């Protein structure tokens, strides 16, 4: 079923849209690292030494909540495994500047250097994403419709045009596939309430969602891998 739907989101050259790719996200990466206090040169290459340093950093700073595998130790914490590195870098920057608020995360990232932020983001981006099977096929079917079609009657926009047909995101856009369903529901409600306001577009997009639609789209996305 995915291929006919995927055709709706192909560009004129026939390739699937991957939002934020190319020179645009790289330019954004340079800007974020400059604002974090580091030189653009740290984006040049992710080396074996970087991977080893990232593993030590994650064990010390991140694994207690997000797990060494990046899948999160409970539904309170985001699954970071497989997230686009540029998205993770943006979230670190937003926590450091207070654009995104969470007392624990702000304490964790406040002393991160630009190099630390870069290697941690790349480390998690390279881990295999997980998924959460659902025993509610009706919710998954309803969530799939919302994800690809939205709800014209209530003004809900589809999700696939930004997050991609496979919900893997790209560049500064989050991967939603395989994210913990409870965490997803919490974040959607935070966007609606403006308690998470580091992405103004998301507030407008998710505001019309009903509680049942929130549950359904989260169930669908969590089961995708």
- Is residue 164 in a domain? yes
Could you give the C-alpha distances from 101 to 72, 93, 106, 196, 203, in angstroms and in order?
19, 11, 7, 7, 16
With beta carbons less than 8 A apart as the criterion, state whether 143 and 217 touch: yes
Q: What is the pLDDT of residue 188?
A: 98
Q: What is the pLDDT of residue 213?
A: 98
Q: Residue 46: which of 129, 130, 125 has the closest Cα?
A: 125
- Is residue 96 in a domain? yes
Last residue of a domain, one of 68, 91, 125: 125
Residues recorded for the chain: 225
Q: Indicate if 191 and 117 belong to the same structural domain.
A: no
Q: What is the pLDDT of residue 34?
A: 55
Q: What is the pLDDT of residue 128?
A: 97
Residue 115 sits in which domain range? Answer: 23-125
- Is residue 177 in a domain? yes
Q: Indicate if 34 and 121 belong to the same structural domain.
A: yes
Q: Indicate if 30 and 101 belong to the same structural domain.
A: yes
- Is residue 197 in a domain? yes
Q: Indicate if 63 and 151 belong to the same structural domain.
A: no
Q: What are phi and psi of 16, to 5 degrees?
A: -65, 140
pLDDT in tens, the chain (225 residues): 333 333 333 333 333 333 344 444 454 554 555 555 554 444 568 999 999 999 999 999 999 999 999 999 999 999 999 999 999 999 999 999 999 999 999 999 999 999 999 999 999 999 999 999 999 999 999 999 999 999 999 999 999 999 999 999 999 999 999 999 999 999 999 999 999 999 989 999 999 999 999 999 999 999 998
- What are the structure tokens assigned to 121, written together? 């983001």
- Is residue 16 in a domain? no
Q: What is the pLDDT of residue 168?
A: 98
Q: Indicate if 116 and 156 belong to the same structural domain.
A: no
Please state the domain count of the chain.
Answer: 2
Q: Indicate if 42 and 107 belong to the same structural domain.
A: yes
Q: What is the pLDDT of residue 1?
A: 39
Q: Indicate if 28 and 121 belong to the same structural domain.
A: yes
Instruction: State the CATH number of the domain containing residue 148.
Output: 1.10.760.10
Q: What is the pLDDT of residue 19?
A: 37
Last residue of a domain, one of 95, 125, 155: 125
pTM of the model: 0.82
Q: What is the pLDDT of residue 29?
A: 55
- Is residue 163 in a domain? yes
């Amino acid at each position: 079923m995915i291929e006919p739907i995927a055709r709706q989101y192909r560009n004129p050259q026939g390739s699937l849209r991957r939002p934020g790719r190319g020179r645009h996200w790289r330019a954004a990466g340079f800007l974020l690292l400059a604002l974090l206090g580091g030189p653009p040169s740290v984006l040049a290459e992710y080396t074996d030494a970087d991977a080893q340093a990232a593993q030590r950093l994650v064990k010390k700073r991140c694994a207690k909540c997000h797990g060494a595998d990046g899948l999160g130790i409970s539904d309170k914490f985001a699954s970071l495994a497989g997230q686009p590195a540029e998205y993770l870098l943006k979230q670190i920057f937003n926590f450091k500047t207070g654009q995104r608020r969470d007392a624990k995360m702000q304490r964790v990232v406040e002393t991160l250097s630009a190099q630390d932020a870069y290697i941690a983001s790349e480390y998690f981006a390279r881990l295999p994403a997980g998924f959460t099977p659902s025993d509610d096929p009706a919710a998954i079917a309803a969530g799939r419709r919302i994800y690809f079609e939205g709800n014209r009657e209530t003004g809900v926009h589809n999700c696939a045009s930004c997050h991609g047909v496979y919900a893997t995101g790209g560049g500064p856009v989050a991967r939603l596939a395989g994210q913990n369903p409870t965490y997803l529901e919490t974040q959607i409600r935070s966007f609606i309430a403006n308690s998470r306001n580091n992405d103004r577009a998301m507030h407008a997009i998710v505001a019309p969602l009903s509680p049942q639609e929130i549950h359904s789209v989260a169930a669908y996305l969590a089961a995708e891998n």
